[in-house]
Amino acid sequence: MRWRIIDYSENDAYMNMAIDEAISESIVKGAPPTIRFYGWKPSAVSIGYFQSLEHEVDIKHCADLGMDIVRRRTGGGAVYHDHQGEITYSVIGKEDLFPKDIIASYRLICGWIIDSLGLLGIKAEFKPINDIAVGEKKISGNAQTRRGGVLLQHGTILHSVDVDTMFSVLKVSDEKIKDKMIATVKERVTSVSQQKVISRDELYGALLSGFTKGKDFGLGTITDEERNRALELVEKRYLTKEWNAMR
């Protein structure tokens, strides 16, 4: 099985989610399994499929900061995607390429991230359900969906973390305040640059190595058909209030 690797590119939040979905659709039609790396420009907030937009996000503050807000097709939590602070990936392929057990498939793909961090001398481990941690501190969050026989997992690897901005755009529930959330998150979240003096480019190089290790792969691009479909999905889904505010 030959994998298609799509080099890092930056898009707005709507296009990023639309490209992941367009690739998923093309894989149903026979396109090769694909690993894509991307960034968010402008910075953005994504929320999980089941989350309430108004409960999770300070919509006005995001607008004031010029940030996009988008609902993902995947479950999980709200994420602040700092333009400079992280690298996001997606892994998309037919379900039969991956373990049937969902946690096992998270473990497999997260293992590629752990291998990548290992190349940088950072010892990380998988924390079920969907996190990767260095010690007790989270460094990567991941989310997966399986639709139409295709598995999509995307996630972020933190290069640097701006907890203050994160909590200015994400709302904090009473339950979370009980956990002394903000102070706790500063203690419970880490980033590659907090572990070692490593540039974002070095992190990306390690991710490319870790994700492709042992795979037959070729560097590819998004096809014109995928890009056109993504542009259509931006208009029909990811930019609409019906989608983003459906919960």
Binding site for other proteins (CB under 8 A): 48-52, 55, 73-78, 102-103, 129-130, 143-147, 173-176, 179, 247
Judged by beta carbon, residue 175 or residue 224, the one nearer other proteins is 175
Judged by beta carbon, residue 119 or residue 172, the one nearer other proteins is 172
Q: Cβ of residue 78: shortest distance to other proteins, in angstroms?
A: 7
Judged by beta carbon, residue 41 or residue 247, the one nearer other proteins is 247
Q: Cβ of residue 246: shortest distance to other proteins, in angstroms?
A: 10
Q: Cβ of residue 51: shortest distance to other proteins, in angstroms?
A: 6
Q: Cβ of residue 203: shortest distance to other proteins, in angstroms?
A: 26
- Residue 92 and residue 226: Cα distance in Å, rounded? 13
- Residue 36 and residue 89: Cα distance in Å, rounded? 5
Judged by beta carbon, residue 26 or residue 145, the one nearer other proteins is 145
Q: Cβ of residue 142: shortest distance to other proteins, in angstroms?
A: 11
Q: Cβ of residue 46: shortest distance to other proteins, in angstroms?
A: 12
Judged by beta carbon, residue 174 or residue 216, the one nearer other proteins is 174
Judged by beta carbon, residue 1 or residue 28, the one nearer other proteins is 28
